[in-house]
């Protein structure tokens, strides 16, 4: 129903009944319009959060790959712990994508709190691992398949490092 129709209905109505109907319809139309605007603003906020994380990721990834092997293995070990905890709750990324948005936000907020604590305590490898993990989950919740795949490739690389090192040590040790 367009605005002109509302005016015609209001003018055709007689007395208070017509005026009340017009005001009621106008009020309802405004509410619907506000509700439609709200998701757009929310979408913009989520989009800006995602862009901010992409920027953070672009700075973090080269530093991780440029780090020494001990640091990379520490990041990998932290990612393995984060992944184990995540899988104990959600089993797969697809399961996480299906939970209510409120639960997703709560989980991401807890990750952010942990991330900040790690950095405040100068535990940079754990902080970087948490940042990388959070970027992956944020990409999943935002349904940004390209970003999710890119971050997942980094997760896979770093998660394998501690396992590769353990395999190298055990294969090199003969009795």
Written as tens digits, the pLDDT of the chain (175 aa) is: 554 554 555 545 555 444 444 444 444 344 444 544 444 445 546 677 888 889 999 999 999 999 999 999 999 999 999 999 999 999 899 999 999 999 999 999 999 999 999 999 999 999 999 999 999 999 999 999 999 999 999 999 999 998 766 655 443 333 3
pLDDT for residue 166: 60
Whether residue 5 contacts residue 22, with contact meaning beta carbons closer than 8 Å, is answered with: no
pTM: 0.68
Three-state SS letters, 48-86 = HHHHHHHHHHHHHHHHHHHCCHHHHHHHHHHHHHHHHHH
């Amino acid at each position: 129903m367009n605005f002109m129709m509302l005016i015609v209905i209001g003018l055709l109505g007689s007395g208070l009944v017509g005026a009340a109907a017009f005001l009621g319809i106008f009020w309802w139309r405004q509410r619907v319009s506000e509700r439609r605007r709200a998701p757009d603003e929310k979408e913009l906020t989520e989009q800006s959060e995602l862009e901010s994380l992409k920027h953070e990721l672009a700075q973090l990834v080269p530093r991780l790959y440029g780090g020494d092997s001990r640091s990379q293995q520490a990041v990998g070990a932290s990612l393995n712990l984060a992944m184990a905890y995540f899988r104990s709750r959600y089993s797969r990324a697809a399961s996480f994508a299906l939970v209510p948005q409120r639960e997703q936000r709560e989980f991401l907020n807890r990750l952010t709190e942990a991330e900040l604590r790690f950095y405040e305590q100068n535990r940079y490898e754990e902080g970087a691992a948490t940042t990388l993990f959070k970027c992956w989950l944020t990409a999943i919740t935002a349904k940004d398949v390209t970003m999710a795949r890119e971050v997942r490739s980094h997760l896979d690389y770093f998660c394998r490092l501690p396992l590769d090192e353990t395999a190298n040590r055990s294969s090199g040790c003969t009795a």
